[in-house]
Structure 1
Amino acid sequence: MCPLSRRRALAAVGSAAAFGTAGCLGLRDRYVPRTHERDADLSGDDGPWPTLGHDARRTASVAGTGPDANARVTRLTEANRFPDRQVVVGSDVLLFVVRRWRENDRDDELFSGVVAVDREGSERWRLRTEPDVGVPTAVGNTVFVEESNLTRAVDAETGVVNWRYRRGYGFPHVSPAVRDGRVYVGGRRFLALDAATGERLWRTDEEMPAVQTCSATAGRVVASNGYAENGGGLFCLDAADGSVRWEADVAPTHDPAAVGERRCFSVDDEGALSAVSTADGSVQWTRARAADGDRSRYEQPVLADGVVLVGGANAPLRAFDRETGETAWTAGPADERHYAPVVAADGVYGVTREGTVYEVGVEGTERWRRSLDRTVTSAPSLAEGALYFGSRTGERVERWQGGFDRFGP
């Protein structure tokens, strides 16, 4: 591996016609990494929760409203392997990831991949992948799926693959970031692909094998870096050509940053929350995990009006002032594991691993709390007035029954 040099600009090179040199692949994948069957259809509505964190900035904030305390809990799909990643709600399908899923006791074949179902839970299609696969991203009539070395554009209605790009060895990314007709992905080098055709638009000249995942705005891509030897924990690329704008001196980071107008917020692998200037990458403030317990790290950050929200284990949900980093308020159970919440027009909705669902006003006043008879296994998504999340029941591993649920109308 070639480590990323600190403060060294990475020139973007070539067009899609340039030959790639990504890892120990076959000759065809090495020199002709793209397979194109047809252009992906990007037209149409993306859906109410189309990607991890709702949008390419990973803000987890929506304009809609959420459920009330008396909402129904509906199991949409049963599986003996529960979803442990956020559910995507497209315009016509729900998308969830399963790993090593055995559908019944007589089935010897394990399935890992993306499953698409309708609003009632009936399966539309499934796409087999490696066991480690990121949360899909829906754009119009296309679903983008990212594995450790492969990106695919899939028809949202049929599951047919429109194009694939084998970019070389990388890490299983959390979710592909798609913005303004471009798909941003990492591998041996960080790439921008044309979302319709899969053609490579640019790639960084130097290898960056520690890139984990990213967030995107109209002009910038903020990528998370997983190894201290490869530079700062965050770095910012120019969306137009891939050149580096800045590196941020924070610890290695695997989760994507939540990007605001003047600051982006990230949780590093040491569990600390940092505010980083989007202009130059300077660290504005850092807050260490303020709780006891074995898992002493915050969850992925979420943006609300004037504050940044983080959950964690054995501590309540916390809101920090975006400007100063001072604690604005805390809410929710103090001794449970809080997943990253969602922010709606009428309040903040959170869930815990222990099955507590709650609503908090944007000023920090808890409005209601309800306990469900299940273990929640993923951060929630919010769409059409309902929360969607993975869950399981059963105390012993051999008796676990999983699936994903809707909490709402």
Structure 2
Amino acid sequence: MPSRRRYLAALGTAGSVGGAGCLGTLGVDGNGGDDEATGPASDDTDWPTVGRDSRRSSHAPDARVPADPAEAWSVEVSRHVGLAAAGDAVLLASWDGVTALDAATGDRLWRAAPADDGTFHTVPTVHDGTVYVGSDRGLVTLDPRTGERRWAVDLPEGVLVPPAVGYDGESLLVAGGHTVAEVELADRSVRWTTEVAMPVSQPLTYFDGSLFVGAEGGELYGLTPAAEGHLSWRQKLPGRLFGAPAAGPNDWLYVDTNDGYVHAVSPNRAGGVVWSSAERAASSGTLAVAHTTAYVAGAGGVMALDAYDGTTRWRAGEGFFCPPVLAGETLCVGDERGGVVAFDASNGTLAGVGGRQRWRHQHGGRVRRLVAAGGRLFGATEPAEGEPTLFALE
């Protein structure tokens, strides 16, 4: 494994994909190793951050979801902002705290309230046996066994989007307001800060030594962490971003914007748009990207787009307001009628093939968030009336 000094000298020319770590029982067994496929200390079947990894691909190649799902448990929860899952626990992030539940039973393991750290704002990122969450004061770390606060780093504008794991898992890349920063985990220091023109609005995307920042007004920035966060380029996209940029295997970024279309942009062309989808996607957030296909879910259905030219390979269903989750070769989305729908993505690389519905599970309440981990599928609802629920399919 290259040393960090060698990495800095090379300005990021050699690197691994940023990821997030496994938890063991909630991750105390993370070993800090580096896996080129999934990122530092990452377990193949965990979903430890938004979009699963720092590429925000929403793809877990080795994960599996039930072929004939049954509801293992369902519990009422508070209003939420997102989910993560690692080891034996699923983490629910709310404005008033983070709750860890047993993945097998739904029993509450612990709850962490912000206390003196302001208000929690982000879905946790689990890395190397530690839970990291952003607050309006900065970066807060939690003990995975108990949820107790370990330490915190204050930042001028807080940490308002989920942290991304940096090179070799030695740092976290964070942002709040106009400020983007890198926090060294060994000594808890802020290595650099960079100001961007517009407030950061989406989870940070990191891969191959580059950091990509989605901001308000459809702004997309490319930064180089190894060069003290140097702003390499700035691009104005056709509309406001609806989720984190998702990195594909071809190292393009895929974004959906409020103009209704999906756009592929190339970091090597200073974020220039390579193609825009011919059909409106009316997306619900971050895409899923795998192999040569980008998947988007929205009001008009699930679309599988050719990652190289944006043509539609297949389209199915309607009424989806839940970002897609790709576990192995199964694409899962939540719908407005309270259901979870699984589509066959095994042939998504062939034009005109794929999109067959494998199953649909009716839960009740609008399903707005899904994560896949440990052979289970976890979902969170936002009902029009009543309390939200968190449930597990196995």
TM-score for the superposition, normalised by structure 1:
0.75
Bigger mean CA deviation after superposition, 319-328 or 249-258: 249-258
Q: How does 1:392-407 map to 2 (within 5 A)?
A: 397=385, 400-407=386-393
Aligned residue among 299, 308, 311 for 1:326: 311
Q: 2:81 & 2:72 partners in 1: Cα distance?
A: 17
Bigger mean CA deviation after superposition, 127-136 or 45-54: 127-136
Partner of 1:12: none
Aligned residue among 317, 327, 337 for 1:344: 327
Is this contact kept in 2: 1:215–1:258, CA < 8 A?
A: yes
Is this contact kept in 2: 1:306–1:321, CA < 8 A?
A: yes
Is this contact kept in 1: 2:65–2:330, CA < 8 A?
A: no
Q: 1:381 & 1:176 partners in 2: Cα distance?
A: 18
1:194 Cα deviation from its structure 2 partner: 0.9
Counterpart residue type for residue 328 of structure 1:
R
Aligned residue among 169, 177, 180 for 2:164: 177
Aligned residue among 368, 378, 383 for 1:388: 378
1:83 aligns with 2:80: yes
1:118 aligns with 2:115: no
Partner of 1:224: 214
Deviations 1:232-288 (A, max 9, x none): x21110021201122223034352110124300112243432101021311101237
Q: 2:63 & 2:141 partners in 1: Cα distance?
A: 31
Q: 1:270 & 1:162 partners in 2: Cα distance?
A: 42
Is this contact kept in 1: 2:119–2:136, CA < 8 A?
A: no
1:289 Cα deviation from its structure 2 partner: 6.3
1:303 Cα deviation from its structure 2 partner: 0.2
Structure of higher CA gyration radius: 1
Counterpart residue type for residue 293 of structure 2:
V
Is this contact kept in 1: 2:336–2:366, CA < 8 A?
A: yes
Instruction: Give the match's secondary structure for 1:279.
Output: helix
Partner of 1:243: 230
1:158 Cα deviation from its structure 2 partner: 1.9
| Structure-2 change in CA distance of 1:298 and 1:95 (3 Å) | closer
Partner of 1:360: 343
1:98 Cα deviation from its structure 2 partner: 2.5
Partner of 2:53: 55
Is this contact kept in 1: 2:139–2:159, CA < 8 A?
A: no
Q: 1:51 & 1:132 partners in 2: Cα distance?
A: 15
- RMSD (Å), alpha carbons: 2.5
Bigger mean CA deviation after superposition, 236-245 or 266-275: 266-275
Counterpart residue type for residue 83 of structure 1:
H
1:257 aligns with 2:253: no
| Structure-2 change in CA distance of 1:367 and 1:227 (3 Å) | closer
Partner of 2:70: 72
Aligned residue among 180, 193, 202 for 1:203: 193
1:404 Cα deviation from its structure 2 partner: 0.6
Instruction: Give the match's secondary structure for 1:227.
Output: helix
Q: 1:168 & 1:353 partners in 2: Cα distance?
A: 39
Is this contact kept in 2: 1:277–1:283, CA < 8 A?
A: yes
Is this contact kept in 2: 1:249–1:283, CA < 8 A?
A: no
Instruction: Give the match's secondary structure for 2:268.
Output: coil
1:65 Cα deviation from its structure 2 partner: 4.2
Partner of 1:214: 204
Structure 1: gaps of 5 or more residues? 1-39, 100-111
Percent identity over the alignment is 23
| Structure-2 change in CA distance of 1:171 and 1:355 (3 Å) | same
Q: 1:202 & 1:306 partners in 2: Cα distance?
A: 35
| Structure-2 change in CA distance of 1:97 and 1:289 (3 Å) | farther
Q: 1:288 & 1:321 partners in 2: Cα distance?
A: 11
Counterpart residue type for residue 295 of structure 2:
L
Instruction: Give the match's secondary structure for 1:211.
Output: coil
Is this contact kept in 2: 1:171–1:211, CA < 8 A?
A: no
| Structure-2 change in CA distance of 1:308 and 1:88 (3 Å) | same
Partner of 2:128: 140
1:283 aligns with 2:273: yes
Instruction: Give the match's secondary structure for 2:80.
Output: coil
| Structure-2 change in CA distance of 1:337 and 1:348 (3 Å) | closer
Deviations 1:124-155 (A, max 9, x none): 22222356611100002101101234211211
TM-score for the superposition, normalised by structure 2:
0.78
1:59 Cα deviation from its structure 2 partner: 0.5
Counterpart residue type for residue 110 of structure 2:
W
Partner of 1:303: 289
Q: 1:41 & 1:197 partners in 2: Cα distance?
A: 21
| Structure-2 change in CA distance of 1:83 and 1:349 (3 Å) | same
Instruction: State the aligned residue count.
Output: 338
Q: 1:148 & 1:252 partners in 2: Cα distance?
A: 23
| Structure-2 change in CA distance of 1:320 and 1:368 (3 Å) | same
Counterpart residue type for residue 170 of structure 2:
G
Is this contact kept in 1: 2:381–2:390, CA < 8 A?
A: yes
Instruction: Give the match's secondary structure for 1:270.
Output: coil
1:92 Cα deviation from its structure 2 partner: 3.6
1:171 Cα deviation from its structure 2 partner: 7.2
Instruction: Give the match's secondary structure for 2:71.
Output: strand
Is this contact kept in 1: 2:321–2:368, CA < 8 A?
A: no
Q: 1:65 & 1:57 partners in 2: Cα distance?
A: 17
Is this contact kept in 2: 1:203–1:242, CA < 8 A?
A: yes
Is this contact kept in 2: 1:289–1:297, CA < 8 A?
A: no
Deviations 1:38-76 (A, max 9, x none): xx9964655511101110100011123433453111334
| Structure-2 change in CA distance of 1:303 and 1:327 (3 Å) | same
Bigger mean CA deviation after superposition, 239-248 or 384-393: 384-393
